[in-house]
Amino acid sequence: MRRTDKELLVKGLKSFGYTIFCMFLGPVLFYEAIKNDDNPLFIPVLILGILFGGLAIYLGFRSVNIVMDAVFGKKKSKD
């Protein structure tokens, strides 16, 4: 029976922490940009909000993949 790779699990949990950070920061930046559309920094803040939102989605899938690999092991290819 295969055991859980603890180092990989910790890496996945750290990645979940970054994901949660981006999940909050992206919408906050996006909301602040939309709320202050007359501000000269409207476009840069809006772009940052969208980028952090996309990064949160990417990190979410990556984190789940890392944790799944830690718990169940990597797939073996049939070469």
Does the residue 77 lie in any domain? Answer: no
Q: Return the percentage of the chain with pLDDT > 90, whole number.
A: 71
CB contact at 8 A, 8 and 69:
yes
Does the residue 44 lie in any domain? Answer: yes
Q: List Cα–Cα distances, 43 to 26, 34, 39, in angstroms.
A: 14, 9, 9
Does the residue 79 lie in any domain? Answer: no
Does the residue 67 lie in any domain? Answer: yes
| Mean pLDDT computed over 6-10 | 91
Domain span at residue 60? 6-72
Query: Domain count of the chain?
Result: 1
Q: What band does 5 get if pLDDT is binned at 50, 70 and 90?
A: confident
Q: List Cα–Cα distances, 73 to 2, 5, 26, 76, in angstroms.
A: 8, 8, 32, 9
Does the residue 1 lie in any domain? Answer: no
Nearest to 35 by CA among 26, 45, 25: 45
Q: What band does 79 get if pLDDT is binned at 50, 70 and 90?
A: low
Q: What band does 14 get if pLDDT is binned at 50, 70 and 90?
A: very high
